[in-house]
A and B are shown apart, each in its own frame.
Chain A
Amino acid sequence: MFRRNIDERPDLAARAEEFGFHFASMYGEKYWDESAFYQFSLRQIEDHLEDPTEELHQMCLEVVKKVVRDDDLMRRFKIPESQWDLIRSSWQNREPSLYSRFDFAYDGKNPAKLYENNADTPTSLYETGFWQWLWLSDQVDRGELSRRADQYNSVQDKLILRFKELAAHQRHRGKSELLYFACCKDTVEDRGTVQYLQDCAAEAGVKNRFVYVEDIGVDEEGQFIDLEDQPIRWMFKLYPWEFMFVEAFGELLGQHDICYLEPPWKAILSNKALLPMLWRMFPDHPNLLPAFFDDETDKMKAHGGRFIKKPIFSREGANVSLIAEDGEELTLSEGSYGEEGFIYQLAHFPSKFGENYTIIGSWLVNDQPAGISMREDSGPVTQDMSRFIPHIILD
């Protein structure tokens, strides 16, 4: 695993315009950075990232299986009791999922370590599935990269295939085949992710519409409706379950027959309580970091070292602090999360390549490993503003 410098494509801006990539930079900062790339061997990809991703996903499903049955654990995961039925029935009915992303620390040699599972609302999908794919194709065409260079990235192929399967699943159950896509207003990144998914769905022949989360309405019967008052019966929402559970319309969830992507049971996986649960069920697994609940902090001493304190519900590395061996707490990132409580995970900083701390996003589509994305930050805790770097496989 190397980090190599490379010239940007001279027509990068024109390519971004041509393909509608509108968030190559965000808030005045460069977000897509192709002045460098990471190079992996095939063995690193297959043995160190792809296989562990599949295994960890199966382990996560074991956690869901255990937690949904256990009221105490549901409370530990801070899931409102009013939503337990929704989650349980979605799991019992095996409601299908679309995609997830694990975040790993990996240095090319030692086992990748799982930071967290973005199982509910992962973004940076377009950059992964299409934009870095196009970068490789362009750089090979220009002669800047070897024709033998490959990429671990079948995300787009798998998404289209998955949408076909999901539509067939709806059809067989006699459910709506019109898929609504929803995200919040005023975020170009989220809208970009959703537009990409819509394009993939359309490519798969799935009829779809878009509605902003804030524009979703409720009719006299309590059904969710779009801006034209048409009922929403199948919906992909790029909006966290834990917010939907407690917002005004949360009490209507489960009252009507609506199929969701991601399904409600994903609320158990996108929850940081997953991490201590995994450690409890699969202790000393090579891809896990020791992790504990609030009331298990006495076990931290046995592992020596420092721990990272993370809120149970948080996004993009907000509200993280470092607990030193002597118990002193140092704030690493600010934010507005944490009211539901915290978990503790052994401090394990991302691998450093030059001045950059690098995190690998490992994607699953339809329960299958599908590719990776690389994010770099100048500090050890990944925030919203980290840069996206492409990668290749070349032995």
Chain B
Amino acid sequence: MWSQEVINMIIQGIGETLKMTVFSCLFGYLFGIPLGVILSTTDVNGLTPNKYVYKVLDFITNIVRSVPFLILLILLIPFTRALVGKSYGSTATIVPLTVAAIPFIGRMVESSLNEVDRGVIEAARSMGISNFKIITRVMLVETRVSLMTGITIAFGTILGYSAMAGTVGGGGLGDIAVRYGYYRYQTDIMIVTVVLLILLVQIFQTVGMRIAAKTDRRIK
């Protein structure tokens, strides 16, 4: 049962899961941060309120967030194929994972940025600082603890999604759990993969929260 082959497969699964999660997180934040910034600043109480921009982005974000991930994954198959050349495997899965992650991350970034004290922003404006610098030097810096917490949440969620993608040939630990545990009734392999998934989430959650707490200057 625990042949070298199985062990290699599981190690490869861990690698694939990490690859999908890390890259989706990265691309997710690449687009999610600007989305969150625009949502937060164009809000009625934001730095530069803009009803129309906010409403359009708010609407799109809600729509993508409302589509169940598995459906999104299938809907995006043509897009994924056009982008990476195929629609299965761990590299291809990064595409729908990123698409699902962007609105989710955007919302978290938005809510983090909305935590910034309006008074601090006003103080920055009174110093003659431009809106762009208020975003980059005040808002994103003052909320770094909240943003860091957001990253750990995003990581856990995307890892969960990546396991779901396994059911339709997405690769990674989820794929192994479904193929061996579900289709072949090899419960032990399924349990091992599930435990590994739990461990990964736990490790990232703990490390993330610790970094967040360590860098917070509001306590002490």
| A and B: bona fide binding partners | no
